[in-house]
């Protein structure tokens, strides 16, 4: 058990490494702008959220770091917004259908449309997921994504009953978005990267000021823009499949900039939340198991989560002393546990 990785709340000492990750993530990663001052503010907001004894009614931001325990290196990041759209507007396009018909001419046509909306206001959001490419193996991605669900299960009173996840849309290696080129740039008169950066920095007022207020007919967009509606960036495909295995579904809402899909689920229906349960921890020698389990402590400010190949048995789990120390638990403490992956 010397090579395990651990989820913990992010802290100010992670700022330098977070700046590196933000730069590494590239264009289109809206929630992680490459701006040191903004990233420092995000860390501060997260530290505040973890310290509050009761949640802020207008929403809190939680950021988690994935740490390689042997080196102490931050290798990934993920986040949760407890309620979006209550402090500032939260925009999406909703896909719809309009029918144009003329009985006299015998014409009946259906057209798909996009309509600017705020339908997800008040939802919790799982967001800001990024894993260093060097570590995209050994269940690190699954740990980084699913740890948030154990945290939400443990502190359900802090989150909305409905959860969304915005998926990064299609763009090329230079950050050019076919959807943006076919639609957004005509209204914003700026490059995709600039609009994306402004949104990530919290400057969203310009969206309402500049976006069209009426339905947009999809068939009038360039073919290149039509083809990427509801599609994800190639690096985001594993994250989408993981969320869908947890119960998230695409419900015809897309990002207004890159056309990426927004997935949603009832909090109570998320597999890792619905199937998680408590066990008692004991310190001692343990035998490895073929199945992986996600385990976390029950603390807020000192939340810790990891993956083990050790199966719970008869309401308890036996873990090595080093791991118990890392998880900040002692004999007799409770852990929350769930199988790491869905098994049919």
Residues with catalytic roles: 233
b/e sequence 173-206, b meaning 16+ C-beta within 10 Å: eebebbbbbbbbeeebebbbbebbbbbbeeeeee
Return d(Cα 51, Cα 314) in angstroms, integer: 34
Two tokens at 296? 């976390």
Tell me the CA distances in angstroms from 309 to 232, 264, 306, one per residue in order. 31, 30, 10
In terms of residues, how long is the chain? 344
Tell me the CA distances in angstroms from 70 to 53, 194, 272, 296, 322, one per residue in order. 32, 38, 27, 19, 12
Contact between 182 and 218 under an 8 Å Cβ cutoff? The reply is: no
Which residues, 6+ apart, have CB-to-CB distance to 302 below 8 Å? 8, 9, 328
> If 0-12 CB within 10 Å is exposed, 13-18 middle and 19+ buried, where does residue 244 land?
middle
Two tokens at 33? 């702008």
Which residues, 6+ apart, have CB-to-CB distance to 234 below 8 Å? none
Contact between 4 and 69 under an 8 Å Cβ cutoff? The reply is: yes
Return d(Cα 25, Cα 33) in angstroms, integer: 9
| Bridge partner residues of 228 (DSSP) | none
Return d(Cα 105, Cα 151) in angstroms, integer: 59
Return d(Cα 211, Cα 204) in angstroms, integer: 11
């Amino acid at each position: 058990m010397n090579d395990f990785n651990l989820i913990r709340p992010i802290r100010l000492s992670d700022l330098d490494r977070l700046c590196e990750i933000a730069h590494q993530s590239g264009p289109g990663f809206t929630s992680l702008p490459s701006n040191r001052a903004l990233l420092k503010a995000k860390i501060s907001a997260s530290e505040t959220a973890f310290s509050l004894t009761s949640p802020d009614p207008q929403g809190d931001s939680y950021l988690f770091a994935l740490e390689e325990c042997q080196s102490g290196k931050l290798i990934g990041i993920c986040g949760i917004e407890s309620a979006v759209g209550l402090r500032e507007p939260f925009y999406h396009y909703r896909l719809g259908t309009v029918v144009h018909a003329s009985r006299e001419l015998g014409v009946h046509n259906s057209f798909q449309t996009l309509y600017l909306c705020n339908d997800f206001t008040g939802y919790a959001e799982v967001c800001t997921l990024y894993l260093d490419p060097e570590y995209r193996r050994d269940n690190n991605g699954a740990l980084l994504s699913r740890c948030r669900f154990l945290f939400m299960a443990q502190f359900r009173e802090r989150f909305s009953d409905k959860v969304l996840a915005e998926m990064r849309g299609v763009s090329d290696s230079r950050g050019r978005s076919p959807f943006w080129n076919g639609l957004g740039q005509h209204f914003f008169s700026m490059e995709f990267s600039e609009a994306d950066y402004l949104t990530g920095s919290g400057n969203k007022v310009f969206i309402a000021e500049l976006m069209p207020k009426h339905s947009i007919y999809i068939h009038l967009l360039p073919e290149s823009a039509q083809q990427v509606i509801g599609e994800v960036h190639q690096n985001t495909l594993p994250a989408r499949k993981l969320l869908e295995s947890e119960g998230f579904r695409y419900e015809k809402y897309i990002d207004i900039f890159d056309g990426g899909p927004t997935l949603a689920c009832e909090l109570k229906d998320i597999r890792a939340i619905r199937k998680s349960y408590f066990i008692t921890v004991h310190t001692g020698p343990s035998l490895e198991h073929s199945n992986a389990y996600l385990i976390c402590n029950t603390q807020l400010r000192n939340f810790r989560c990891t993956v083990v190949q050790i199966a719970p048995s008869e309401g308890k789990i036996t873990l090595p002393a080093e791991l118990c120390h890392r998880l900040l638990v002692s004999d007799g403490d409770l852990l929350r546990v769930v199988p790491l992956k869905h098994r049919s």
